[in-house]
Amino acid sequence: MLILIPISFFGLRILFDLSNPLRQPVTQIREELLEFTPIGMSINEVGQIIRDNEAWGWNGHIAPNGFPADPTFRVLIGSQSIRASLGGFNNIFWTSVIARWGFDEDGKLIDIHVEKHIAGW
């Protein structure tokens, strides 16, 4: 009986980890974010939604430039952007999930980008 308790706890831990919505592909996470923060929403409204979600980490900073469209940073999406940590999950290494919201010069949302970063690589 004592052996079953650690195994059950371990099994529940695996199920909990596997049910983490941040394990979904970045395209699916992006689609879900678009439901909460649709294209055309104002930068202030998006900021408030991010602030209200206690699980997301955001320091309130609005970058005066867009977010990079590719790893070379040659093309930026938008003229302002917000970056927030959505959380993460553990495989062998910790994987953090970051979202970036890009806004046009009028402060309206034009795109969302989601990326995953694996610690230890």
pLDDT in tens, 26-67: 999 999 999 999 999 999 999 999 999 888 888 778 888 888
What is the pTM (predicted TM-score) of this model?
A: 0.77
Are the C-beta atoms of residues 5 and 80 closer than 8 Å to each other?
no
3-state helix, strand, coil in the chain (%, to 5): 30, 30, 35
Helix (H) or strand (E) run with residue 28 in it = helix 26-36
pLDDT of residue 62: 87
Res 17 pLDDT > 70: no
pLDDT at 21: 81
Instruction: Look up residue 77 and give its DSSP letter.
Output: E
Range list of β-strands (E), the chain = 67-68, 76-77, 80-90, 94-103, 109-118
